[in-house]
Structure 1
């Protein structure tokens, strides 16, 4: 535990998206558990959405930031959850316009470190104040290594064909991107903020300007990619482990009785649970096709997806007669569900997800079979890691030209891992269990946090 003489004060300023703020807060809890002080800068809405996850309010202080309006964003927009993903570049402008507020706050509180990710301007203001910086990445090291390293040399004219080729020195021979996958990656060369700054520019500058790079991963999972990033940026790369607070039983919630009671009615490892995160808005036709895929599988299921584009509610988007046909074995959530607790229930046997980095870690740390349906660039690359490198999951096949997920391809992937005696299902289950034994123990994960703190103490001296 920290003493008053070696207690660190750390400011956190993550990108205004749930998938970034939540892991920053998980890390804050782990640091506060070890008696370090945190000032967490976040928008007003996020304060109310995340306060139940603040397990140490005596050491973790939420400091709210006013997010200015930017033309083109709906009034009141503060986080990525408020908008469709194609407006995120405007939210980046809004975040950049909070720079003066952030600088004023940091000048007053003067922490030892500030952790950030998308705020590429943070190192400049931190140097003026005399604060050390850690660019803390909550996406996989493999994603950073293929898309966001100086060797990529992205420019305005980069083509999808060029993006299919890994950058110089990329430490994997198993990553081959299809045309659709390269298209998902091409956003890195698009504007993401004011002026001509691209997403690639933003993240590369954020990492180049930092005193150290932090990544939410382990050497057991991505050691070769971490070494590559360190060599590319010529900086120390500090690893925190997955930081899921899975062993923080003193603060563990209970699964809502509605879901717990329903799941209790099924045999062990028989239910398929599906969730695609907070930012994926499917087209209505694709939404319906996915639901029909779960129906076709014949297995009990819970699906937690956002209402599709053009629909106000999930109810109005359901296929005709769907609820009646799956009555008793299938549920579609009307809102947010407790994903980590769903994955702990013994009746859940398979997790169908988008392979966002948080869901990826929750998949790995669970004992569930894993089926992946990636949508965005980092999700595509995370999927390559789990399916190609680790061989612990299967990916749903998409149409080669249109990227369509058919009900048949989804049902086939689910049955591949869930059918008793399936060769594929047995193989990924064995590989998953081996990985957990070697890289997913609570002792190892706690050791990562302790080592991370030792490195910070060294930097602060």
Structure 2
């Protein structure tokens, strides 16, 4: 019997109302329940049916649905970021804060040992009041948390904004001067009377410990820096990705991909949150066309368009017939990445996608948008040296020539840089794919949680 089985825990989870947070929290719940620990999962009422199929241990993982109050400015019925544009998500944060009384009742009735949170900045104080521990469990990398040790304000100069805090472990994993607009988002209001950064910092500073879903092998120095910066324990759960699915790719995808040579197709996906302007969308597609390679692009219709078809560049479909496919709905990203014909993955480098690309055999081309994606990209490109970043033009636009150039570089088998990236990626994947590694991390994570209760 492993040490993690000595005493069973009861853990409550209260993630931010976004599928990019719900899903990592449910993956963690499954890993905890697999070891016999009990989980109480608090979430908006309408989200529960969408997550139930991911609950592998319904006898140990129990959902507690919360009813969201109406908030002026929030689209009617909105319960997650999926149907709330970025600029309106501050109202969703207000809705989250207004569940405090419901959350308090659930915690008092269920009496967990501890509660995990990320955006609920009031959770650590509530947990102390009830007499339980609080853990700030971040679903993004440790790097933004490390940079959050200093205050970001709109009135700061560009030089002040991009300055690294003392002791920060890398001069490469940073925001550049031309990217400060992406950084300034964290100084925007996010709720009533506090900024996005205030919310995260309070959660980090007031909790009993900070936790990340990563491996030391990827982010060790940054995790150590966060521990030192905030003066508290940093626990690592590992990425907690679900076991590899045995399911097969649907025929409509497999039949199309099977027409192409191994490792020859470029796959692009920017996740559920990203919505491009029409001109950006068209320039991107023209970049894939210009590469001359077969491609599968999965993007939402751009702003102002109801369908992908109405947004395509003029004559595009005719020119790429047979070698290019553009899809406007959800795609089985993980299964597609495992298809032998996919050789390159173009993405925004959101944290979940970053892990999926690490566990793939694909060459990686990155086009980050927001601050945490930018930091993830610098880690992949500058520190790990397993990916390339597409060079932006004026006003941070992505010219078709830049995208085509990046794709052609990594897909050129005779290119020295492409070979180096491939070798580095293969070595890292081999290390991370060790089945015992995640097991070791989750056992140590549970042991560390138990030690917090002593």
User: How high is the TM-score relative to the length of structure 1?
Assistant: 0.95
How far the C-alpha of 1:145 sits from its partner, in A, is 1.3
Find the counterpart in structure 1 of residue 324 from structure 2. Answer: 330
**Runs (5+) with no aligned partner, structure 1:** none
Of 313-322 and 332-341, deviating more is 313-322
Alignment partners' CA distance in 1, 2:282 and 2:56: 39
Give the secondary-structure state (helix, strand or coil) at the position aligned to 1:135: strand
2: distance between equivalents of 1:10 and 1:256? Answer: 37
Instruction: Please report how far the alpha carbon of residue 5 of structure 1 lies from its aligned counterpart in structure 2 after TM superposition.
Output: 7.2
1:119 aligns with 2:120: yes
* Residue aligning to 2:412: 419
SS in 2 for 1:402: helix
Q: CA deviation at 1:103?
A: 0.9
Specify the alignment match of 2:90 in structure 1: 89
Deviation at 1:184, TM superposition (A): 0.6
Partners of 2:63 and 2:256 lie apart in 1 by 36
Shift of residue 431, structure 1, vs aligned partner: 1.1
Aligned residue in 2 for 1:165: 163
Please show how residues 149-298 of structure 1 align to structure 2 within 5 Å. 149=149, 152-155=150-153, 157-195=155-193, 197-247=194-244, 249=245, 252-298=246-292
Distance in 1 (alpha carbons) for counterparts of 2:332 and 2:85:
23
Which residue of the other structure, out of 391, 402, 405, is the alignment partner of 2:395? 402
The separation in 1 between residues aligned to 2:258 and 2:37, in whole angstroms, is 40
CA distance in 1, matches of 2:52, 2:337: 23
Q: Is the 8 A contact 2:175 2:371 kept in 1?
A: no
Matches within 5 A, 1:431-450: 431-450=424-443
1:129-157, Cα deviation, whole Å (9 max, x unpaired): 222111001111122212x12xx133453
Q: CA deviation at 1:440?
A: 4.1
Structure 2 CA distance, aligned partners of 1:255 and 1:130?
Answer: 48
CA RMSD of aligned residues (A): 1.7
Identify which of 337, 343, 363 aligns with 2:337: 343
CA distance in 1, matches of 2:84, 2:157: 28
SS across alignment from 1:359 = helix
Instruction: Note the C-alpha offset of 1:245.
Output: 1.4
Distance (Å, rounded) in 2 between the aligned partners of 1:5 and 1:91: 40
Superposition map of 1:8-87 within 5 A = 8-87=9-88
Larger mean CA deviation between 169-178 and 182-191 belongs to 169-178
Mapped contact 1:14–1:118 kept (Cα < 8 A): yes
Distance 1:159 1:22, change over 3 A: farther
Does the CA-based 8 Å contact 2:213-2:238 persist in structure 1? yes
Paired residues of 2:174 and 2:375 also in contact (CA < 8 A): no
- Once the two structures are superposed, the pairs formed by residues 360-379 of structure 1 within 5 Å of their partners are 360-379=354-373
Q: Which consecutive unaligned segments of at least 5 residues does structure 2 have?
A: none
CA deviations 1:131-186 (Å, max 9, x no partner) are 2111001111122212x12xx13345333332211112211122353333222111
Q: Secondary structure at the match of 1:166?
A: coil
CA contact (8 A) 1:158 1:189 kept: no
| TM-score, scaled relative to structure 2 | 0.96
Pairwise CA distance, 1:91: 1.2
Q: Name the CA distance, whole Å, in 1 between partners of 2:31 and 2:174.
A: 37
CA distances 1:98-148 after superposition (whole Å, capped 9, x unpaired): 1111111111111111111010100111112222111001111122212x1
In structure 1, the residue corresponding to 2:211 is in which secondary structure?
strand
Cα deviation, residue 187, structure 1: 1.2
Shift of 1:432: 0.9
The 8 Å contact of residues 175 and 183 in structure 2, kept in 1 or not, is answered as no
Q: Work out whether residues 218 and 239 of structure 1, in 8 Å CA contact, stay in contact via their aligned partners in 2.
A: yes
Q: Which shifted more, 431-440 or 417-426?
A: 431-440
Query: What is the deviation of 1:458?
Result: 1.7
